[in-house]
Amino acid sequence: MLPEPDELLAAAHVVRLPLVTRFRGVTEREALLLHGPSGWGEFSPFLEYGDEEASAWLAAAIEAAWGDPIASSRAEVPVNATLPTVPVEQIAAVLERFGEVRTVKVKVADAAESLAHDVARVREVRRILGPAGRIRVDANGGWSVDAAERAAHALAGFDLEYLEQPCASIDELAELRERLHDWQLPIAADESVRKADDPLAVARAGAADLVVVKVQPLGGVARALRIVAEAGLPAIVSSAIDTSVGLAMGARLAAALPELDYDCGLGTAALLAADVTGEPLTPVDGRIPVRPVEPDAALLRAHAAPPERVAWWHDRLRRALGVLRVSR
Ligand SMILES: O=C(O)CCC(=O)C1=CC=C[C@@H](O)[C@@H]1C(=O)O
Ligand SMILES: [Mg+2]
């Protein structure tokens, strides 16, 4: 049973948080936080997403705030640092915000950037981490198969852990995987899971070695757990640049997975210049705790979005709830 819109909005807060550096083309993150009988949930689909896509994010927020508890087998989750496309000179300062981490994910393949810059950034991260550190790169589907192969060659000396969504389509991923077969360079699917009509198609096609799973886009922890089980591939839980409320939802998923062999992309509180709690889930020694997050009333007030944005989010929630009502 889905709650009524008025029940959802009765204790809702819309916040706008500044980021420390531009990420996905934005410098602020807006989120609608919900409070229900089971705790807090976050509804923060990216602004450009339509109602259909946003409805999965709402299902996840409702699960967190109104749903049943989910069994957990971990008290902490190991996390990576996430490096946006910043100039090489800024890398050390951005990574410092994450504290001691052994794994860094480097965003690459930005349309406005060159491969040479991506290589320079990865080189700098390797210098900072040393030989034992783990580096993965995320192209967000920005490369053709040829460009991805070229990039894999150019980055071969840096001992990458995996390539995340190097190409956009499942067919391209499959072809690249064939071409990289002898390289032992795994491919992780992200958009091919979270933005696909069928999140299992990429695994079924044998087009990826790993799956990246995010609680909100996949419609909640329970659904994400089922997807990982059915995909039969190792999973990395990642954030959607959430507030600490959303990160707690991600940590709950990571804590419930039977296997967790890779550091998770849940360290992103370090990319927020402000959060909704005085005790954010910022990584400490490369880990975040698995615990509920309660926003502070004063921080919710301090970072409240302007009234026209609050109205926009309330309308968006009502429309997304309408989609959920039809689909359930
Ligand atoms: O996985 C991480 O290290 C952090 C999260 C992250 O990189 C992302 C969050 C949200 C949107 C994306 O552009 C991006 C990703 O593609 O994984
Ligand atoms: Mg990704």
Q: Which residues are marked as active site?
A: 107, 214
Same domain, residue pair 179 and 40 = no
Label residue 194 by pLDDT band (50, 70, 90): very high
At 41, is the secondary structure helix, strand, or coil?
strand
Mean pLDDT of the chain: 97
Tell whether the model's pLDDT for residue 269 goes beyond 80.
Answer: yes
Tell whether the model's pLDDT for residue 55 goes beyond 80.
Answer: yes
pLDDT at 17: 98
pLDDT at 182: 85
ipTM of the complex: 0.97
240 in contact with ligand 1, CB cutoff 6 A: yes
Same domain, residue pair 38 and 85 = no
Distance separating alpha carbons of residues 65 and 38, to the nearest angstrom: 5
Distance separating alpha carbons of residues 81 and 268, to the nearest angstrom: 7
- Distance from the CA of 138 to the center of ligand 2, in angstroms? 6
The identity of residue 264, as a single letter, is C
Structural domain total, the chain: 2
pLDDT at 77: 98
Locate the DSSP E strands across the chain: 13-23, 26-36, 39-43, 76-78, 81-83, 103-107, 134-138, 160-164, 187-189, 210-213, 235-237, 287-289
Same domain, residue pair 53 and 84 = no
Same domain, residue pair 252 and 104 = yes
Q: Which atom of ligand 1 is nearest to the CA of 82?
A: 3
- What is the average per-residue pLDDT within 317-323? 98
Same domain, residue pair 143 and 14 = no
The tokens for 239 are 């954030």
Same domain, residue pair 233 and 305 = no
CATH number of domain containing 35: 3.30.390.10
Helix-helix angle 244-256:51-66, to 10 degrees: 80
Q: Which residues constitute the domain of residue 321?
A: 5-68+297-327
Label residue 181 by pLDDT band (50, 70, 90): confident
Label residue 287 by pLDDT band (50, 70, 90): very high
CATH number of domain containing 275: 3.20.20.120
pLDDT at 80: 98
User: Is 190 among the annotated ligand-binding positions?
Assistant: yes
Same domain, residue pair 183 and 139 = yes
Same domain, residue pair 282 and 201 = yes
The tokens for 250 are 């991600």
Max intra-chain CA distance, the chain: 56
Same domain, residue pair 168 and 272 = yes
Same domain, residue pair 55 and 80 = no
166 in contact with ligand 1, CB cutoff 6 A: no
Same domain, residue pair 174 and 138 = yes
Same domain, residue pair 100 and 198 = yes
